[in-house]
Amino acid sequence: MGESVRLSVCVVTYERAAFLERCLAALATELDGRAEVVIVDASRSDHAREVRAIMPKATYVHAPQLAGWMTRSRNEALRHVRGELVAFLDDDVVVRPGWQAALEAAFDADGVGAVAGRTCNGLPGEEEYDRPIGRLLPDGSLTDGFAADAPRLVDVDHGIGANMSFRRTVLAALGGFRDDYPGTAIREDTDMFLRVRAMGGRSVFAPEAVVDHLPAPHLRGARFDTRYKLYGRRNHMVLLARDAGIGSRTLWRWVGAQFRNIGGASGLRARAQRLGVTTLGILWGAAAMLRDASWRPTPPQRTDPAGNELRRRLGGAPI
């Protein structure tokens, strides 16, 4: 009789077969018999043969209908997990030795429901960070520091999607990911951690659960192009409105800061471009938050049919 599964590792991928294979090769040497891997591939072509050549026991889901929907792909992975802990890795990361042990040790700490692992980008000096790691500040901005070489576990408000993990029971209570952060899906990871916080859960940064982020090229545009900035402002505004309410000072402080930052652009043309992107992004975000949020904080648990279906799959009771 086989060992019970403690850790499910989910990898969502889209048209990046070589990067996926590199990610899986590292996992194959790191994971023990209590772990499983679930891959959701939204690519046009089926890569089951290549995946199973590296990890014969992996669960491979070919779902081209999910192309362009990171959060829906993550939720699809949740329909196949068996572990009590569920990790999400981007397809362009490589786990370092000891990642699984460090991750499981972080969950053994008192009250931990979510873990943000250390994600190294190969940038000089990134191991040092002089601000609080992973915090939502009163002005609505977010600190990062997820490449920092901290000496111990650090309590955080949010984590990074390239290397994040949750208890299965927490995912069941939440009803999975909110799947309406469009475009690059920026802030869908932050949303999950803030919802854990809203339920009274504890999230920590685990500096010994390390991955190397070796970024794959974007299929459309560059990492921080205009499209990314528009989605970023739109999604961040919805995030803050859901977390603290449309009437919150945090939200409106952040909006004010976006317009004040226009003056920091170098030159008239750059300022005009920043004004246009900021205005469009804020207007788009305002329309979205009026539809998706309310004056007071939005409850963290999904209660829609899709959320309840995920809750049942994960072993929770429908709301």
Complete DSSP assignment for the chain: -PPPP-EEEEEEESS-HHHHHHHHHHHHHH--TTEEEEEEE-SSS--HHHHHHH-TT-EEEE-GGGTT-HHHHHHHHHTT---SEEEEEETTEEEPTTHHHHHHHHHTSTTEEEEEEEEE---TTTT---S-TT-B-TTS-B---TT---SS-EEES---TTEEEEEHHHHHHHTS------TT-TTHHHHHHHHHHHTT-EEEEEEEEEEEE-PPPPSSS-TTSHHHHHHHHHHHHHHHHHHH-TT-HHHHHHHHHHHHGGGGSSSHHHHHHHHHHHHHHHHHHHHHHHHH--SSPPPSS--SHHHHHHHHHTTPPP-
User: What pLDDT is recorded for position 151?
Assistant: 96
Q: Are 21 and 54 within 8 A, CB to CB?
A: yes
Q: What angle do CA 164, 168, 174 make, to 5 degrees?
A: 85
Superfamily of domain 7-219+301-313: Spore Coat Polysaccharide Biosynthesis Protein SpsA; Chain A (3.90.550.10)
Q: Distance between alpha carbon 254 and the CA centroid of its chain, in Å?
A: 21
Q: Would you give the end-to-end CA distance of the chain in angstroms? A: 35
pTM above 0.75, yes or no: yes
Q: Which residues pair with 10 in a beta bridge?
A: 38, 88
Q: CA-to-CA distance for 265 and 275, rounded, in angstroms?
A: 10
The three state secondary structure string of 127-149 is CCCCCCCCCECCCCCECCCCCCC
Consecutive sets of 10 residues in the chain, 319 residues long: mean pLDDT of each?
A: 84 94 97 97 95 96 90 96 97 97 97 98 96 98 97 97 97 95 84 98 98 75 70 95 97 96 88 92 96 96 96 85
Largest CA distance in the chain: 70
The residue with tokens 């499983």 is 36
Q: Which residues pair with 38 in a beta bridge?
A: 10, 59
Burial of residue 317 (CB within 10 Å: 0-12, 13-18, 19+) is exposed
Q: Torsions phi, psi of 16, nearest 5?
A: -140, 60
Give the strand pairing for 202-213 and 112-120. Answer: parallel
Q: CA-to-CA distance for 89 and 162, rounded, in angstroms?
A: 5
Q: CA-to-CA distance for 253 and 291, rounded, in angstroms?
A: 21
